[in-house]
Amino acid sequence: MHRLPKLVAAGTLCVAGLLPAWAQHYKFNGGYPDKQTIQAAYDAADLNRAIEAYKFFYPTVSGEAIFEGNLKIGVKVNKAFGTLDTKPRHVGYTLNSDTPYAPVLLDLSQGPMTVEIPAGPLIVVAIDVNQRWVADMGMPGPDAGKGGKHLLLPPDYKGPIPDGYHVWHSSSDFLLVGVRSLPVGGDVQAAIQRIKTVKVRPLNPPAGWTDPTWADLTPKPQDTTPLKWEDNLAYWEVLARVIDREPAFDAYRNFYGELAALGIAKGKPFKPDERMKRILTQAAREANAQMRVQSFADRRPDRVVWPDRKWEWAGLISDNGNFDTASYTDLEARDLWFYQAIGASPSMFRRGAGAGSVYWLGVRDSDGVYLDGGKSYKLSVPLPVPDKLFWSVTVYDTETRSQVITDQGKAALRSLFELKDAASAKGGTADLYFGPTPPKGHEGQWIKTLPGKGWFVYFRVYGPEQSAFDGSWKPGDFEQIR
């Protein structure tokens, strides 16, 4: 109370002494905000809302990019799918060339769809347009690789459910079913043919229904990322389109409220004025920068895999595939994952023998310095690697989070292919090389990087054994070759 007279002048209360430095320009006359304060407060509030909304809905915009990128090269919802032996020309967040893929795009607004998985080494996951996990099928699913019939239901479905299916409920109409086929013995063509034996059809086929076709998408360049949208107003335009098209997901109500304050709401046109355009553009740039920092300079102690190594977990633990802990949604882990990758499921984050796979992230060398495309490195991998299936190391461009594109035409070293001889060894190490020029005598174990560009890797182990988790086995760090 003794300080109050010092803060009051001519009926004006300046809150400089009561608020942080960033808010010291706020002024109130008799408790009411002046004109400048009104403008400043709303600008700050809208910017804060937009930054947080950007990060929360990044998986949604990225999910829409997956649909758009596939539609552009000829995939058709419910009708025409394709197989993909992924190459660096296929731009997508941390895609890999370890296994052939198949993007199966479904629109459940046309009714429930069935997916019949044959027995065999197929890994199948269904995610909605928000990249929320919907279903695991094939090896990680309830059919456990023995074959099974699955039923995918649209939101709020009230119709009959027949017997004989594993039943899954989607939280959006647009649904992506990603099919991966393990190339047993390195036989990629057999793996691709196995994908085509997956049967997809409506639960109640309309008159004249014909089974979907499968095209070879491998020769076609492709971009399934939101890179062209992520730092500008287009991000919000795409998000507004998805919000208007899809049924509202009840668990997102609070976040829809944040969007509504910014002019994005289901059933309403998105027409931002010049002020809001400026704020949304600024928010896209700032939020994207924050996610990049978090992704490549993570501060969480639980990111560390082994205390004496620089490797980090590519995905922090998410027991249900949607980053839900016992009492909260782990938004930090969610932001990190979806800035680097696409899709999520419980099987992707399990840590222990029997997990489908485990991913480790490498961004720094043994000295703790970021990996530099202009420098040369060696990575020593103790043999044998504790995998029941195979392992790989894939190099990604830090800017695009996609496989590095160079005149070498590849971005991965894999135990089924380039490292087949080393992978069969019972001891010693497999030495892998990375840099702008090939190491003499080791050209087959080398991935080219580009000067002036940062890069990172995912080390993947498929069918990991217990020693991959308990510290009794671990890869070396990247050692700079000076």
**202-223 tens-digit pLDDT:** 999 999 999 999 999 999 999 9
Residue 24's pLDDT band (cuts 50, 70, 90): low
Encode pLDDT of 388-433 as tens digits: 889 999 999 999 999 999 999 999 999 999 998 877 777 899 999 9
pLDDT score, position 25: 76
Q: What pTM was estimated for this model as a whole?
A: 0.92
Residue 16: per-residue pLDDT: 44
The percentage of residues in the chain with a pLDDT greater than 70, rounded to a whole number, is: 94
- Phi, psi (rounded to 5 degrees) for 333: -65, -35
pLDDT of residue 160: 93
Class for the domain spanning 74-219:
mainly beta
Give the model's pLDDT for residue 344: 85
Tell whether the model's pLDDT for residue 359 goes beyond 70: yes
For domain 298-480, the CATH class is: mainly beta
Question: What's the mean per-residue pLDDT of the chain?
Answer: 92
Lowest-pLDDT choice from 163-167, 325-329, 346-350, 363-367 = 346-350
- Where b means 16+ CB within 10 Å and e means fewer, 96-117 reads bbbbbbbbbbbbbeebbbbbbb
Mean pLDDT of 440-463: 96
Q: How far apart are CA 187 and CA 183, in angstroms?
A: 5
Whether the per-residue pLDDT at 143 is higher than 70: the answer is yes
Q: What is the pLDDT of residues 259-291, one digit of tens each?
A: 999 999 999 999 999 999 999 999 999 999 999
Does the structural domain 234-295 have CATH classification 1.10.3360.10?
A: yes
- Tokens at residue 108, please? 């459940």
Query: What's residue 23's pLDDT?
Result: 58
Residue 19, pLDDT above cutoff 60: no
The Cα-based distances of 132 to 169, 209, 247, 257 in angstroms read 11, 29, 14, 19
The structural domains of the chain, with segments of one domain joined by +, span 1-33, 74-219, 234-295, 298-480
Q: Is pLDDT at 169 greater than 80 in this prediction? A: yes
Least confident of 97-101, 281-285, 352-356: 352-356
Residue-level pLDDT at 4: 34
As a whole-number percent, the residues of the chain with pLDDT over 90 amount to 83
How high is the pLDDT of residue 1?
A: 33
- How does residue 346 score in pLDDT terms, banded at 50, 70 and 90? confident
Write the burial class of residue 479 (CB in 10 Å: 0-12 exposed, 13-18 middle, 19+ buried): middle
Q: Is the pLDDT of residue 327 over 70?
A: yes
Average pLDDT over residues 143-165: 95
Residue 322 pLDDT grade (very low, low, confident, very high; cuts 50, 70, 90): confident
